[in-house]
Amino acid sequence: MEFVSTRLITADIDRLVAFYEKATAVPAVWSTPDFAELTTGNGVTLAIGSTGTVPLFAPGSAEPAANRSSIVEFLVQDVDALWDSLASWVTDVVAEPKTMPWGNRSLLVRDPDGNLVNFFTPATAEARAKFGR
């Protein structure tokens, strides 16, 4: 078994894809007007589907903007530099960059649908070793 992606369902796919493209500097690849994917350098994919894709799986099985239990996480080169570029346009900042007890320096924001997004940089020797940095 191989974990290949996380998918977010949204009522406004253009807005959500634009947020992730701008925040990550990764261009989305659109398969249809209702489905796009952003694949990072290590091959992990963030898939974004419109509410129109939900009935294809099972009607009512997913609801946009209702997440309060997951965090989408991106390993970045320098979280403080990223914060400098995001601060002027990200409207929902949960926590500005700070070093966590497990050694990552993290910035926590919400995307336009309210999903938590953590951008982090390993800050301690142990955290850097974990991520091969």
Q: Which residue ranges make up each domain of the chain?
A: 1-51, 68-133
Looking at domain 1-51, which CATH architecture does it have?
2-Layer Sandwich (3.30)
What's the pLDDT at 42?
84
- Tell me the pLDDT tens digit for each residue of 29-82: 999 999 999 999 888 999 999 999 999 999 999 999 999 899 999 999 999 999
Per-residue model confidence as pLDDT tens digits over 98-119: 999 999 999 999 999 999 999 9
Tell me how far the alpha carbon of residue 62 is from its chain's centroid: 18
Please tell me the pTM assigned to this model.
0.93
Pick one of 3.40.50.970, 1.10.3660.10, 3.20.20.300, 3.10.180.10 as the CATH number of 68-133: 3.10.180.10
Number of other residues whose CB lies within 10 A of the CB of residue 26: 17
- Closest to 6 measured CA to CA, from 25, 20, 23: 20
